[in-house]
Structures are given as structure tokens and as C-alpha cells.
Structure 1
Amino acid sequence: MSERKVINKYYPPDYDPAKVAKVKKPIKTGFAALPTVRLMIPFSMKCTKCLEYIARMKKFNARKETTKETYLGAKIYRFYLKCPQCYNEITFKTNPKDGNYLPDKGCIKLYESALEPSVEAQSKVESMDDILERLENEDKEDKNYKEEQKLRAKNSGMLPAPKLKDQEGDLMENMEARLDQQQHEQDVMDQLEEIQERNARVSANTEANVLQQMRSAVKESQIAVGQRDDEIAKLAFQTKSSAETPVSFRPKPFRVNKPSVLGLKKKGSALGVIVKRKA
């Protein structure tokens, strides 16, 4: 590659740069005059000619055109590219209203995000009847919300929150009203905490009373069972001692016969020998 690099060029002695004919570059017009940009497809699309699917974020060399359309002073651009399968011309435009892109020619969009408004929603214009109906529904919802707030305040025994004045009024009065509202919210929170603590104490006392009653009932039942057992034992011992057994069933006394000295002498036992020696 180093041989191809030319640092110095040879100029002959009779070289006259004024005599060299200058070739003008042809002026590009129309589609060829559009600048080429490198971009990625902003949405998944399908070619209408060959039904080729083109994935989102695929890179293309496209031509950029500034259209005459504007939205609130923002220019709308159109991009031209070729289908990679059939070389059909595909165009899409910017949509500054929704911050997105819209297909223009030669392609269709495969899906619509839930955050993007649909084509029907974009084309639909709200009529006067729709506006009146929407305002009536909002008014009804506001009234229902205020009634619910009043019912909650009445049931809980709390005062309703102070109302704020219009923004066109005095700023100091609005500030005081906001401070009063904050103070009211703080009082409401304190009341709620006090109610919760009271409910907790009541529940704890009821549980303690129930446990105490159960313990006393168990203790009383144990004492009653012990007394009954003592009475049964006393009655049993009294009947056993007072009852007299009949004579025929009394056992006879056991008599032990002592061995005689003569008998021991006859047998010649050791005891007989000892008795003979003593005699």
C-alpha cells in the first residue's frame, strides 16, 4: 500500500496551470441533490411490494428532504430509502406533534405502541356535543367527590378543610389559607393517631380481662375438684374403720412351737452337742 501513496508530483518545465481546462461539476437537481444521512429505522415496517419485513433499528443510507409542512414552527422531514429485497422506494416522515415517525409511502407500520395515539384518534375531531358531555361528566365527578368528603368528615367528627380562594385574589390570603389547610391536615392526623392508640388500649384491656377470667375459672375448678376428692377420701376411710368384720372370717393366730432340748439331743445336731457339753 505504501507504493500507491504519492507525496510529490512531477510537473514538467512547460507546465502552465492557466492553460488547464477546468471541468465544472454537474449541478445536482431533484432527488440527487438531497443530502445523504445514515439512520436507523425508527419502527418495524413491511414493504408493500415484496412484503419484506424490515426490523426496527436497522441501519440505512437515506436521503433527507425538508418538506413545506410545519407544526408550530417545527419543520417536518421526509426520508427516502430502498427496500433491501426488491429495492422499492420507502418513505416516512417525522411527526413532531407526537414525537414519533409516520409511514408515508411504500411501507406499512407493523404495530402501534400504547403510548402512541392511533390514526383514528388523530383524525377524530372533538365536536361541541362531545365537549359538553365531557364537561358535564367532569362536573358530576367533582360534585360526587365533594359529597364523599363531607360524609367522611361528618362520620369522623372532623371539620371540613378550609377552601382556597381564587388565584386572582390576594397572595397573602391564599398563603394563609394554605397554612390553615396544612394545620387542619396535621390536626386530622393527630386525631387519627389518638383514635388508633385508644383502640389499641381497649383491645389490650379486653384481652387481659378475658385471660384473667379464664385463669380464675380454671383455678376455681381445680379447687372444687380438690375439695371433692378430699371429701370422697374421708368418707372412704371412715366407712373402712367403722365397719366390723364377722367372727367366722377372722384369721386364727399363728403358733410357733419351740424345739425341746431332748429332741435336739436325739437328733445329734450341733445345738444338741452344745447343750450336752453344758450339762
Structure 2
Amino acid sequence: MAERKVINKYIPPDFDPAKIPRLRLGSNRQIKVRLMAPFSMRCETCGQWIGKGTKFNARKESIEGEKFHNIQIYRFYIRCQRCAAEITFKTDPENLNYEVEKGALRNFEPWREEKALNEEKQLTKEEEEENNPIKALENRTEQSRREMDIMDSLDEIRTLNARGERVAEADVREAIATRDEEKETQRRLAEEEEDERLAKLAFQSAGGRRIKRACEEDAIAREREIKLMAIAPQASQSSNTRVKVAVVSKAPMSQSTLGIKGIRVKTAAAADSTPTLAGMLGAYGSDDDDSE
């Protein structure tokens, strides 16, 4: 492959370029080109549908005597993919399109019909305005009203966009602060709910019953009640002991029996009573009775 990449080529000394015959080509000769179908069409011979953009090996030629404002018009030859029938179409620079000549039918294209209808409607409207000035005035009024509505809509859209763009920095900070406060409040509420749930679990018995918590006032009242209940039996017990000692001292008994009874009573009182002020007074009273 090295000999095909040389830069300089050998030219013999007796080389005369004038002796080389020139190739005479006709002006209407055909050129082989590769193209795509510019529109969808249907073959007239077999009915094969050919879509837009389908690639073909075609022949191209210039049409003699047909020009549009000095723009040359060209003709293309292609063959059907199914039956190999020849299909020809040419350029249409006047309508910026292509035109089928033979071999196929162009498929319906609604946008092309819409354009033609709009043009026809515009021509009809212009003719009516020329013949009827009142109709022309009505048309201009309607057009002005439509333009005003469009301008109002555009102004409203611009106002909304400008309002969204003119967001003050203070408003942004306030919104951020409000959002942070809401998050903090939600977090605090969640913590309180969690504490309440843990407290319920802590003050709950094994059987599933809930243990009520007593407030401080209830606790003080309960303690006072317990103290009163503890003092009342002691006072009643001391008074009963004094009565028993007095009855024993007044009974006509011997000294031995009195001593035994007194010892027995005192022993029972000492065993049953607790060393309180009421008990000590009761014991002192019994000694006075015995001395008499």
C-alpha cells in the first residue's frame, strides 16, 4: 500500500496535455444520485406504499426550458421497491415543494390543504372588504379587540412573573424562620408524646392495670391521716388501762392478791402500750390510786 500514498508522481518529458481528448457531455445528461423520498406516495402499478424518507438510487436530470425566476428545475427517476415500475417527480421551487409527474399518487397531506384554505379565505375576506366598507370596519374592530385581549393576557402573565421574581429577602428569611419554628414545635410535641408513653409504661402494673400518681397535697393528707390513726388506738388503750387499775385498787382483796393483781395489770399495760405521753400519764395515775 506504500506505492499508493506517494506525494509526487512521475510525468514523462514527452507528455502533452493538449493531446488528451476532452469528454463531451450533454447538457441534459442524467446523473446517478442517492436520495430519499421527499413525500409519501403510493405506486399506481402495484399499490405499494412508499413512505417519506425512503432511500433510493435515482437518476437526476435538468429539464430544458423550465425555470422559475432563473432557478433550474430538476427531474428525478426512481423505481418501486415491489414491482420496479418507474416513478418520476420534479422540483417545484414556486411552492417550495415537489410535484409527482407519473408512476405514483401523492398521499393526502392535511396541512397542505389547510394552507390552501387559509389563503383562499384571506382572498375572500379582502374582496368583501373592498366591496363593503362597513364589513371592513367590523373586521378591523374585531381584530383590534382581539389584539387588546392578547395584550392584556400578556401583561397579566408578565405581572405574575415579575411578582414571583421580586421576592424580598426579608420574606425569605421570615419563611425560613417560620418553617424552623414549626419543625421545633413538632419535635417538642413528639418528645412530649414519647415521654408520656414511657411514663404510662413505667406506672403500669404487671397485670396491665394503670397505677395512679398522687399529687403532693394528696400525699400530705394521707400522711396526716396515718398519723391520726396511729395516735388514736394508743390513747384509747391508755384510758382502758387506767380504768382497770382503779377497779382493782377499790376491790376488797388481800395484800398479796392486790400485789399480784397490780403487777398483773401493770404487766399487761406495759406489754400492750407504747412509750407515749398518754401511756406515761396513765401509769402515774395508777400509782396514786395504789398508794391510797
TM-score interval, smaller chain? 0.3 to 0.5
| Structure that is richer in helix per residue | 2
**TM-score, normalised to structure 2's length?**
0.39
**TM-score, normalised to structure 1's length?**
0.40
The structure with the larger Rg is 2
